Structure 1
């Protein structure tokens, strides 16, 4: 039996898209006969929403997967400052590297999932000190996104050090996994990548996310991280302009760094009866929430550094049989066109309102888009199939080194 260690900054009970992806991947690999251990911090994200703990480590069994929780700094606020944020990002991979140095010989393959970038540290350390194979799983352009969103200054010593570290990781990995072809192209154009690269999309658990036929409500929904990359303010203003005609609610299911700012804006615009913040919901409630909504929203900001992104929430909307309205260019626009399940609006309240209105005025089109989306993700993006592909990579690389 192959032994695999997956290292991730996020894991349930956290509700982020990456937490659910790591959980599904680990469970599916275990079901496929892989001995899986997940290294993750004690639950922290969204920051400030979990009680702090000072336990050095804690081990538990989760649906056939061994989960080892390691201590890291846990920021106490919802939008932490730079120092607190970096302590959270850096102390966990350092702790994971130390843990692996004492336990790494028990594994055949280590999988490190980024972002954040520094999760690659334990994989790099283990690769330098042992014969363990390393899969570097890259989900986004973390450095570029940090610069475009104002967290990192271009040309700063922090950017230079981060890019140097990313190049070191790419030079040592045995396999690089990327979510989309565009992400792979951008990485290859900036860095020297010697390892094979393959597409490992975010995907969706189509057994869990499926249509629930309990009727529709007059609501649209956003389910995911309430963060700096999302143009949620403009969606709220779009709904405000439509409500003389459509009487819609806009549900925001999730939490994150910008929630407090968004709540202040909603109050200032007298939208508290229209825009509903549900907070972070139990995962088992999300499919029902999506299914009873008319449209799912995936409003990425129009930044070149986000053009590689295909948000997990869009797959979840499609799996639950509802159309989605997205904003932004690149992969999300490609997904909308390829699947036939989404439409893209410009990043203005007026354009979003016009796109939503056109959909709501055509129920037959919405139903057809929902059907197409469900069929598309079941065929191309089911997480069981993605895990099977990963298992084949694991077996291939460990067989060649045997």
Structure 2
């Protein structure tokens, strides 16, 4: 029965149907908590990501139900084009943070705890203010080490004033939080190393997860009609952290007949389209529009290889793209880049092959899997088994359920 476990307000900068791993993770987790008996209210800005996809909204407050979750869209500035300038991003983040803070204060009797997801770090402001006013617990849900990632990718300078101020703000948020949720053990280690052992007792690993009943090898398939040979697939955000350019370049070196399907949208879409045209790979690489989440299981079940690549950067060593678990649950062997937690997961599970961030190395991995159906099947079975045992959405949500129950009870 909704609400029997407690009442949770979740503050998130993005929420489905918006694209991106963070939106999917928050949406799936919120819906699973509702199934577990929580009264879940999600507070988010108007649908904005990828920028320019959705019309500008002047609606102050839009409410709808999403499988037992009350979703409240609060007006904020919306970015209007892909890869928006810093000024537009900040306006988007800060206007939402202010509006969400006011909403939480006005409806402070509706919840027992506030969970704020990052990135961006500004989503923590509503949770901190609401917790200070009400005395109710504040949970920082860290989906990405945003500052580390942006610095390592060269978007900000580590020694700049803005980066130093951002790190101080991050430290204040994490030390103020009653619990800090991380997605991998490596992320927890990095946070403890950066912020001191005092934070260790607040860290709880809640990994990205997957609905293993929806994502399965026998889902209704979309095999990508018209594609010859093996189908190599990527679904999700075309962002700066994903090394999709190397994957496109790899197709020029693939010897086996194969097609790469990049399905989604994001800041780098135009660059990827130009690269495909420049290399003359239009017959081997298709860049396709985003699809509804309900269609993704069928696409994966109709494919042969999934790719989960990250740029070779120390700032991304903690990360495992959420799509990796969807590939595994779907019985797809995974080609991932040889970096940090992602490489550790593929080695531990036996679900795929790791390769260097090099087009020829990626092409060799694609060819190896394509030419060996038995190896693909074995990795697919191992990946599916590992995902069901360790990363099923319901199992992961039950761990979060216990953390929230204990936290609320300790504040009663």
User: Is the TM value for this pair above 0.5?
Assistant: yes
Out of 124, 129, 142, which is 2:128 matched to? 124
Flag structure 2 segments of 5+ consecutive residues without an equivalent.
224-228
Out of 207, 218, 229, which is 1:212 matched to? 218
Equivalent-residue separation in structure 1 for 2:19 and 2:238 (angstroms): 12
Out of 199, 209, 221, which is 2:205 matched to? 199
Correspondence 1:343 to 2:349: no
Q: 1:86 to 1:215 in 2, by over 3 A?
A: closer
Correspondence 1:155 to 2:165: no
Correspondence 1:174 to 2:178: yes
Correspondence 1:270 to 2:283: no
148-157 vs 1-10, which moves further: 148-157
8 Å CA contact 1:105–1:132 kept in 2: the answer is no
Equivalent-residue separation in structure 2 for 1:333 and 1:256 (angstroms): 25
Out of 32, 50, 53, which is 1:49 matched to? 53
* Offset, 1:219: 1.2
Normalising by structure 2, we get a TM-score of 0.94
Aligned position for 1:397: 407
Equivalent-residue separation in structure 1 for 2:152 and 2:249 (angstroms): 24
Equivalent-residue separation in structure 2 for 1:61 and 1:236 (angstroms): 39
Aligned position for 1:225: 237
What do residues 228-250 of structure 1 show as CA deviations (whole Å, max 9, x unaligned)? 111111111111222xx422111
Runs ≥4 in structure 1, deviation > 4 angstroms?
213-217
188-197 vs 264-273, which moves further: 188-197
Correspondence 1:95 to 2:105: no
8 Å CA contact 2:252–2:281 kept in 1: the answer is yes
8 Å CA contact 2:11–2:114 kept in 1: the answer is yes
Q: 1:164 to 1:105 in 2, by over 3 A?
A: farther
Correspondence 1:297 to 2:307: yes
8 Å CA contact 2:153–2:313 kept in 1: the answer is no
Equivalent-residue separation in structure 1 for 2:257 and 2:93 (angstroms): 42
* Offset, 1:215: 8.8
* Offset, 1:386: 1.4
8 Å CA contact 1:307–1:328 kept in 2: the answer is no
What do residues 284-332 of structure 1 show as CA deviations (whole Å, max 9, x unaligned)? 1111111111110111111011000011011010011010000141100
* Offset, 1:120: 0.9
* Offset, 1:218: 2.4
Equivalent-residue separation in structure 1 for 2:365 and 2:31 (angstroms): 38
SS of the residue 2:251 aligns to: helix
Q: CA RMSD in A?
A: 1.4
Alignment of 1:243-254 (within 5 A): 245-254=255-264
* Offset, 1:271: 1.2
How many residue pairs get aligned? The number is 400
Aligned position for 2:35: 31
Equivalent-residue separation in structure 2 for 1:95 and 1:150 (angstroms): 31
Normalising by structure 1, we get a TM-score of 0.96
8 Å CA contact 1:301–1:328 kept in 2: the answer is no
* Offset, 1:81: 1.1
157-166 vs 191-200, which moves further: 191-200
8 Å CA contact 2:335–2:354 kept in 1: the answer is yes
What do residues 173-216 of structure 1 show as CA deviations (whole Å, max 9, x unaligned)? 11111001110111111114445211100111112211136596
SS of the residue 1:52 aligns to: coil
* Offset, 1:128: 1.9
* Offset, 1:90: 2.1
Aligned position for 1:366: 376
Aligned position for 2:141: 137
Flag structure 1 segments of 5+ consecutive residues without an equivalent.
none
